[in-house]
Structure 1
Amino acid sequence: MSQDVLGNKVSTTNEKTLHGINAFILGYLGYDLRLVEILGIADQSDDCLANTYAGLLWMLSETGDIPADALRYRDRAKVSCDQALPREKLLFAVLEASIAEEPDRIIELTDTILSQWPRDLVTLKLRQYHDFIRGRFTDMLAVAQNSEKAAGDVAALHGMLAFGFEQCHDLDAAERSAKRALEMDPSEPWAQHALAHVFLTQGRIEEGIEFLEAQSAGWKHLTSFMYTHLWWHLALFYLAQKRKTDALKIYDEHCWSRERSFSQDQVGAVSLLVRLELAGADVGQRWIDLAEWLAPRQNDVSQPFLSLQYLYGLLKAGRPEGEHLLQRIENLSGRDLPDQRAWDLVGIPVARGLKAYLANDPVTAEGYFKTAIPHLQDIGGSHAQRDLFMQIGKDITRQLSRLSD
């Protein structure tokens, strides 16, 4: 029996397997590219935890379906699950619940793990992810606070606290937690991210630009999402200063330059292009290029927050896949899905509203947006990300005002 890098007991005694497990833990918490090392390690090991982590990594890839590799690692983990430690067995159950698309079961299991092993920050990060995509921000903060006493020596914990505080509108606490994380580890990316949110929300534009520009040289080793998302935040600060050329340069050189097949990179690109156009920038043929990568998402209704942005990009580019995705979204009406409330109150009406907006029908678009905006939190995403729909709503209002003049 050994311990992982956070001091949690693990059943493996194989040094290579333990190295892979630790690389995943540090990589997942720090958005570092080394997290993918777990895939090669799992391929060479029958260890339950290593294969569980590999399966969970695939489930976090947001492909819009259940990846075959997630099933493969699930099956490999199951072979040795009987010999695993209790925490490892519970983590395997989390993987099974993820594959079965049982979000409430995931919450139950992660609560159980964290109540007994509060230094299991991978489970904490995974739990926060599921709270985040369902708009449960108070829960996201609470679970991090419950681990603070046991894991207060870990910078990543304070980064998770900072983002939780920010999403719960406690900006002073968010700034304190982010700065504490950065005192412990100046490169902690989630704390940098949380602090960027604080600066933007408080209108501290010059301070935000100075901070992110100073940090940007250290982002090259980050995973595609974290790399592009931090640059995305810097672009928002530039747009706040009406620096459209600089924001467009970030889009070309950073936000749409890494892993173009990943969901978060795709919606970040959509979101930035919309904001650029609303600011009056000429984005040229960029919608056409982006839509080529969005086209495979025509059946992806796994998360309304993601699907709505895929839809915008496809409709904007005039792709037939946009109409197909719209119909897929329409077909979700009246179903009994785990996120049915989010679809009924936000996803479906906003999809209809985006269709009308892009068809230059602001009257129809306004009706749909008015019903959805009060419930926007239900689709998850951060304040800054959801603000995209608020900005479109404001543009609809401007269009209506011009019509009445």
Structure 2
Amino acid sequence: MTQDLYGLETTASRPDTLQAIDDFIHGFLAYQPKSAGVIAAADADPESPLVNAYAALLWMFLEHPVAPEKARPYLQRAQAARGANAREQEVIRAVGHWVDGDVPGLLAACDKITDQWPRDLAMLKLAQYHLFNIGDAAGMLRMALKSLPEAEDIAYTHGMIAFGYEQCHLLDRAEAAARRAMELRHDEPWAHHALAHVMLTEGRVAEGARFMESVVETWTDLNSFMRSHNWWHLALFYLSQGRHDDVRQAYDQHIWGLEKDYSQDQVGAVSLLARMEFAGVDVGDRWGDVADHVAARGQDTVSPFLTLQYLYALCRTDRPEAAELFKAIEARSADTTAYDHAAWAEVALPAARGIAAHAKGDWATAIRELGMALPRMAECGGSHAQRDLFEQIHLDALVRDGRASAAQQVLEMRRTYDPDGVPLNLMLSEVYEKTGLPDLAKQARARAERTLASV
């Protein structure tokens, strides 16, 4: 019996099929486009169970309502194939759970696989992806740590551990794990990503920008999500530093335009454009193209985290499709049989109401509805940094509604992790002026000016 690149036995016998399996695993972990070759390999070897299971898995990462329809023929071939070994059978079952919409079943299956085969990092990555999407940070960390010590020698192990630690607010451990990953592979993009999170959270903005710029050349050949997302993180550092031209250049060259039809590229563009506007950056006519591509998704409620950002883009551009997407959110929230019913009904729906109200200038409703949703936004998925978009929408509504005292409270709390940020301190200066505290306003302006002078 042959083995994959991490020494796990597989029944794949054809050299091309085995190479495609290795390319899928490594491409999946390293965010390289070569993972897509598993589709053609599965078509060329329809009786090989694992390669067809992986092809089905790849289709599910489309994050689109049509994904199960695309994935199911490959899943059926994997299920019908003879001779799958014990691990391959468990992988097929895990993928089947996802295609059927049974995420709890998928997570249980991944737990079982990684208990017995801790070097199966593809199943570990799959589990982390879903735990991330339901806001289970502790689960992400627990799952990643199961890979030790057996997978200690693999850089991607430590990158996943680093992100698990970061999402659990264990920042020192996250940084140590990310740096261990980079000792094994300097080009490990998920480790870069984890370090960007740590530095952003700790207010190490200038250091974060320098670090990400130092590894940026290693992202050139990554898939569109990882390349655009790491650039998105770099752009957040630029925003804090008041580097408007650099933010626009990052958006135009590295964030929007790589794969315009892909979900993650779309929400990356949406969330950065929104942040740019909140920070006072002129975005020109950039919203139109993004909204066109988001509108083409139709009534997409695959993920509450993604859907809320689609809704923001459609509402921001006053697209008629916004009303249809809102109805789809209401319908999804009414499905009491879904495993994620509470996330949709109790978090995403009020957040959607708040987003729609914000676009209409109904600040009071935006404040009320988003205020209800914010404490539980993690249930909708996304990282701390990504979910901050909804905090910023809420803050913008507070400022626009003249609630200066409430805005001051939010801004000073935000200053604990962005102490010298230019847009934050300029906003804080305006708020202090409105609350009759000119000395504090002057100090906030001075902080912004020092940052601008340093870059």
Q: Same fold (TM over 0.5)?
A: yes
Q: Determine helix, strand or coil for the equivalent of 1:324.
A: helix
Distance 1:402-1:375 versus aligned 2 partners, 3 A rule: closer
Partner of 1:228: 228
Render the CA deviation track for 1:112-170: whole Å, top value 9, x for unaligned: 11111011000000000010000001000001111111101100000000000000000
**What displacement does 1:402 show?**
6.0
**TM-score after normalising by structure 2:** 0.87
Render the CA deviation track for 1:88-132: whole Å, top value 9, x for unaligned: 011111121111100110011111111110110000000000100
Distance (Å, rounded) in 2 between the aligned partners of 1:168 and 1:137: 6
Q: Which amino acid in structure 2 is aligned with residue 262 of structure 1?
A: Y
Distance 1:175-1:403 versus aligned 2 partners, 3 A rule: closer
**What displacement does 1:71 show?**
1.4
Distance 1:272-1:14 versus aligned 2 partners, 3 A rule: same
- The reply to whether residue 205 of structure 1 matches residue 208 of structure 2 is no
Native 8 Å contact 2:26 2:35 kept in 1: yes
Partner of 2:307: 307
Q: Determine helix, strand or coil for the equivalent of 1:356.
A: helix
Partner of 2:218: 218
Partner of 1:112: 112
Distance (Å, rounded) in 2 between the aligned partners of 1:334 and 1:40: 39
- The reply to whether residue 140 of structure 1 matches residue 140 of structure 2 is yes
Render the CA deviation track for 1:307-338: whole Å, top value 9, x for unaligned: 00000001111111111101111223332221
Root mean square deviation of aligned Cα = 1.3
Partner of 1:89: 89
Distance 1:323-1:4 versus aligned 2 partners, 3 A rule: same
Partner of 1:347: 348
Render the CA deviation track for 1:190-247: whole Å, top value 9, x for unaligned: 0010001011111111111111111111111101100000000000000010112211
**What displacement does 1:77 show?**
1.4
Native 8 Å contact 1:65 1:302 kept in 2: no
Partner of 1:53: 54
Native 8 Å contact 1:158 1:177 kept in 2: yes
Within 5 Å, which residues of 2 pair with 1:141-290? 141-290=141-290
Distance (Å, rounded) in 1 between the aligned partners of 2:267 and 2:64: 13
**What displacement does 1:17 show?**
0.9
Partner of 1:372: 373
Distance (Å, rounded) in 2 between the aligned partners of 1:277 and 1:25: 39
Distance (Å, rounded) in 2 between the aligned partners of 1:235 and 1:66: 31
**What displacement does 1:79 show?**
2.4
Distance (Å, rounded) in 2 between the aligned partners of 1:119 and 1:136: 22
- The reply to whether residue 328 of structure 1 matches residue 322 of structure 2 is no
Distance (Å, rounded) in 1 between the aligned partners of 2:60 and 2:318: 31
Partner of 2:22: 22
Distance 1:36-1:277 versus aligned 2 partners, 3 A rule: same
Native 8 Å contact 2:162 2:174 kept in 1: yes
Distance (Å, rounded) in 2 between the aligned partners of 1:304 and 1:181: 31
Partner of 2:34: 34
Q: Which amino acid in structure 2 is aligned with residue 108 of structure 1?
A: A
Q: Determine helix, strand or coil for the equivalent of 2:147.
A: helix
Partner of 1:391: 392
**What displacement does 1:296 show?**
1.9
Native 8 Å contact 1:315 1:322 kept in 2: yes
Native 8 Å contact 1:298 1:322 kept in 2: no
**What displacement does 1:28 show?**
0.4
Q: Which amino acid in structure 1 is aligned with residue 250 of structure 2?
A: I
Partner of 1:76: 77
Distance (Å, rounded) in 1 between the aligned partners of 2:165 and 2:333: 34
| Higher deviation after alignment, 65-74 or 229-238 | 65-74
Partner of 1:10: 10
Distance (Å, rounded) in 2 between the aligned partners of 1:141 and 1:258: 31
Distance 1:124-1:403 versus aligned 2 partners, 3 A rule: closer
Partner of 1:102: 102
Q: Determine helix, strand or coil for the equivalent of 2:401.
A: helix
Distance (Å, rounded) in 2 between the aligned partners of 1:88 and 1:137: 27
Q: Determine helix, strand or coil for the equivalent of 1:151.
A: coil
- Identity fraction in percent: 45
Q: Determine helix, strand or coil for the equivalent of 1:150.
A: coil
Render the CA deviation track for 1:233-271: whole Å, top value 9, x for unaligned: 000000010112211111111100200111000000000
Q: Which amino acid in structure 2 is aligned with residue 71 of structure 1?
A: R
Distance (Å, rounded) in 2 between the aligned partners of 1:403 and 1:147: 49
Distance 1:233-1:9 versus aligned 2 partners, 3 A rule: same
Which runs of 5 or more residues in structure 2 are unaligned? 406-433, 435-455
Distance (Å, rounded) in 2 between the aligned partners of 1:281 and 1:338: 40
**What displacement does 1:75 show?**
2.1
**What displacement does 1:67 show?**
4.1
**What displacement does 1:403 show?**
9.1
| Higher deviation after alignment, 222-231 or 333-342 | 333-342
Q: Determine helix, strand or coil for the equivalent of 2:281.
A: coil
Native 8 Å contact 2:275 2:389 kept in 1: yes
Distance (Å, rounded) in 1 between the aligned partners of 2:38 and 2:332: 36
Distance (Å, rounded) in 2 between the aligned partners of 1:264 and 1:86: 34
Q: Determine helix, strand or coil for the equivalent of 1:147.
A: coil
Q: Determine helix, strand or coil for the equivalent of 1:227.
A: helix
Native 8 Å contact 2:121 2:157 kept in 1: yes
**TM-score after normalising by structure 1:** 0.98
| Higher deviation after alignment, 37-46 or 135-144 | 37-46
Partner of 1:127: 127
Q: Determine helix, strand or coil for the equivalent of 1:242.
A: coil
**What displacement does 1:358 show?**
0.7
Native 8 Å contact 2:68 2:100 kept in 1: no
Native 8 Å contact 1:294 1:310 kept in 2: yes
Render the CA deviation track for 1:35-85: whole Å, top value 9, x for unaligned: 1111111110020000000100000110133343311211221221x3100
Native 8 Å contact 2:398 2:404 kept in 1: no
| Higher deviation after alignment, 222-231 or 315-324 | 315-324
Number of residue-to-residue matches in the alignment: 404
Native 8 Å contact 2:65 2:300 kept in 1: yes
